[in-house]
Amino acid sequence: MSTVAEASAALLAALGTVDGVRPYSDASSKLDPPCTLLGPPQLDWTTYNPDGDPNTATFIVLAVVPVGDRAVEQLWELVPRVVAAVTTNPDAVVSRATPTALAANGSADLPAYQIFVEMSL
């Protein structure tokens, strides 16, 4: 069993292993794609815990690439690499990835995928 902070730190460390991709955990950072952005998780209490702590967390990892005519292909190449890094943690399971655009850096929306990562705590 781990805490939310420990799970977040483990996930951020895994994201740091993706070659050529900068990991961020602060949404106010000036993003420099290709990068990942780890946000705070959704917390769930799916089983009884006498301490009152959550036992699962669902993180959204954004995989982000620069705007350009190859953005979709770059995302299709990046997402499997991010998923592979995340799932090196035996407590992490990727449930889905959905395309999105990220408003960041005060410029054009950046192409991205939201990768949903469920972690047991």
Report field, pTM of the whole predicted structure over 0.85: yes
- What is 4-120's CATH superfamily? Phage minor tail protein U (3.30.70.1700)
Residue extents of the structural domains in the chain = 4-120
- Tens digit of pLDDT at every position of the chain (121 positions): 589 999 999 999 999 999 999 999 998 889 999 999 999 999 999 887 788 889 999 999 999 999 999 999 999 999 999 999 999 999 999 999 999 999 876 677 999 999 999 999 8
Q: What is the pLDDT of residue 47?
A: 80
Per the CB < 8 A criterion, the answer to whether 87 and 37 are in contact is no
Q: What is the pLDDT of residue 1?
A: 58
Per the CB < 8 A criterion, the answer to whether 102 and 62 are in contact is yes
> Which helix (H) or strand (E) element contains residue 8?
helix 4-15
Distance CA 99, CA 58 (A): 17
